[in-house]
Amino acid sequence: MEMFLIAPIAYLIGSIPSGLILGKLFWNTDLRKFGSKNIGATNAYRTLGIYPAIIIFAADFVKGILGVLLGIYFLNTPIAMIIGGIAVIIGHNWSLFLRFSGGKGVATGLGVIAILMPIVTLAIFIVWVLIVVFTKYVSLASIVAAGLVPILAYFWIGQIEYIIFSALAAGFVIYRHKSNIIRLLKGTEVKIKAGNK
Ligand code: NKO
């Protein structure tokens, strides 16, 4: 029975648009109207600066953790954790409260994999930081880091359920970067710089 509760509850948690709510509440800003129009930490940094970005990152990251914790709470099996994790990312990317629009799943996905695969998480986080530092393209860093997750899961974890989960999660993150990919290919993607509202 519990099995059927994990996914809907995780989906609802993921659906809470933290960046939109916090932006409006504390900085009187609808992030969907500025910069990349995304509600994530990067656009918060671009639009509002470092502290709003950290707070919104933390909120989205915690949502990812909560999705996996639901699986632990209800059934405590790897499959249950994975279902909670995937559902929370889907909720974040395709929110019930935003007519199935939403974020890109980077911070929330990081929260999910931080619990499911901590070593993989550490490795891809380092890669993400390096790509941001050297290219200043956050979207490129997120796309490459997400793409690495299933590859590292294959080599370092090896269990089929983790590999399938990783491929799906990475697919969801990369798919939501569609507009960034088009800009990167055209050479019009904006390099990161703080507080430009
Ligand atoms: O506004 O379109 P934009 O330029 O904002 O934003 C692009 C960006 C969107 O993502 C975010 C969240 C930023 C979080 C920063 C910490 C990320 C560390 C590593 C992430 C790896 C992703 C793995 C997910 C796999 C399931 O990209």
d(C-alpha 181, C-alpha 136), whole Å: 15
Q: Do the beta carbons of residue 14 and residue 90 sit within 8 Å?
A: yes
Look up residue 25 and give its two tokens: 């509440």
Nearest residue CA, atom 2 of ligand 1? 36
pLDDT band at 2 (very low <50, low <70, confident <90, very high): confident
Are 149 and 173 in contact by the 8 Å Cβ rule? The answer is: no
| Rounded distance between C-alpha atoms, residue 32 and residue 168, angstroms | 26
Residue range 45-56: average pLDDT? 98
Does 194 score more than 90 pLDDT? no
- Average pLDDT, integer, range 155-172: 98
Ligand 1 neighbours, Cβ below 6 Å, are: 36, 38, 40-43, 57, 104, 106-107, 109-110, 113, 124-125, 128, 138-139, 142, 145-146, 149, 169-170, 173, 180
DSSP state of 117: -
**Contact (CB, 8 A) for 50 and 87:** no
Secondary structure of 126-173 as H, E, C letters: HHHHHHHHHHCCHHHHHHHHHHHHHHHHHHHHCCHHHHHHHHHHHHHH
Q: 195 pLDDT band (50/70/90 cuts)?
A: confident
Phi and psi, residue 36, nearest 5°? -75, -5
Give yes or no for a contact between 196 and 47, defined as CB atoms under 8 angstroms apart: yes
What is the tens place of the pLDDT at every residue in 52-103? 999 999 999 999 999 999 999 999 999 999 999 999 999 999 999 999 999 9
Q: Please give the share of the chain, as a percent, with pLDDT higher than 70.
A: 99
Q: What is the DSSP letter of 158?
A: -
CA of 138 to the centre of ligand 1 (A): 7
Segment 99-117, tens digit of pLDDT: 999 999 999 999 999 999 9
What is the 81 CA–ligand 1 centroid distance (Å)? 22
Identify the band that residue 196 occupies on the pLDDT scale cut at 50, 70 and 90: low
